[in-house]
Amino acid sequence: MNQIKIVLPKSLINGINQNYQKAQDSSKQAIIYAIKTGEFLLKAKAKIPHGEWKNYLQNSSSGLLFSSDIQARKYMKLAKNPELAHIVKSEDSSFNLDELNKAIANASDEDKEEAKEKKIIAELYTGNNEWFTPPCYIESARKVMGSIDLDPASNDHAQKTVMADTFYTIGNSGLEKEWTGNIWINPPYSAKEIKLFVDKFLSSDFDQAVVLTNNSADTSWFVNLARSCNFMCFTSGRIKFHNKEGEQSAPTNGQTFFYFGNNTKSFVDEFKQYGMIMGVVTYEDHYDVIQ
């Protein structure tokens, strides 16, 4: 019986190998690369004929840096449970593939519920924060504010589009820095992280800002942004974010742009193309009218 020769795209093989190598580091960031390794493995497995996956892994000509089906399953398990993986991993512990898989298997109902909430709010993270805002929205923010001086929740790839004078990443946490000038921010969407970023933002002394979040009007952080901003734009439909490979993905709900600053007419004129513009009218500010 002839053995089936399977050749996968080099981009898939490289994606698996590069992230696998980075995941061998025991640092806190290794979990991110381990999850991405699993994501690439899942894509590769989907292209393999049924029943041939294990043979493919063990074939020396596959080009992969490892050949263990058991090891591959562990990485794919992380990719299927990215939010849960981040929750059950202790922030102070180094990355260990076996221990993390055991923690996922033994996760409490509370951890599973939190992971479910994260997935609904953010869609993938990864914690995967490797999804980027389409350039048109960033250019609109730049047009309204005149410049983008600071992006406090970013990375090197995002800055190819944002081009902020200053930006902070997961490696030099923006939460510990001063936020000034004209700010563009699309904060991490996990329930715990977004509250920290919104609290930091609202306590900062800046000139103007455009904040992009999911439309989560039932949350306290969203209400706090809405009460403090000058105008909001509720998008018509969901924004299609993209990753480094150009793949698109939209969260499970729509998005909202919050504007803070004096160029309100410019914001309305520019962002009305993306959706409905609204402002917040409080009872306290209009008591006489209501009466």
Q: Which amino acid is at 233?
A: C
- The domain segmentation of the chain, as residue ranges, is 10-122, 135-290
**Distance between CA 61 and CA 64 in Å, rounded?**
8
- Low-confidence stretches of the chain (pLDDT < 50) are 1, 120-128, 287, 289-291
The pLDDT assigned to 218 comes to 86
Structure tokens at 43: 């894509």
Structure tokens at 177: 């820095």
CATH for 135-290? 3.40.50
**Distance between CA 57 and CA 65 in Å, rounded?**
10
Q: Would you give the distance in Å from CA 75 to the centre of its chain?
A: 20
The pLDDT assigned to 91 comes to 55
113 CB-near residues (< 8 Å, 6+ apart)? none
Quickly list H helices, the chain: 10-23, 30-46, 53-58, 69-80, 82-88, 97-105, 109-122, 135-145, 159-162, 191-202, 220-228, 264-271, 287-290
The pLDDT assigned to 242 comes to 76
Instruction: Tell which residue, 198, 191, 200, 254, has the closest CA to residue 224.
Output: 198
Q: Write the pLDDT tens digit of every residue in 72-112.
A: 898 888 888 877 777 777 655 666 778 878 878 887 877 77
Sign of the torsion formed by the C-alpha atoms of 231, 258, 239 and 121: negative
**Distance between CA 275 and CA 32 in Å, rounded?**
34
Q: What are phi and psi of 179, to 5 degrees?
A: -110, 115
**Distance between CA 240 and CA 133 in Å, rounded?**
8
The pLDDT assigned to 291 comes to 47
Angle at 160 between CA 245 and CA 135, to 5 degrees: 75
Residue by residue, DSSP assigns 135-179 as HHHHHHHHHHHS---EESS--TTTHHHH--SEE--TTS-GGGS--
Angle at 154 between CA 153 and CA 155, to 5 degrees: 150
Sign of the torsion formed by the C-alpha atoms of 130, 134, 135 and 138: negative
Q: Which amino acid is at 58?
A: Q
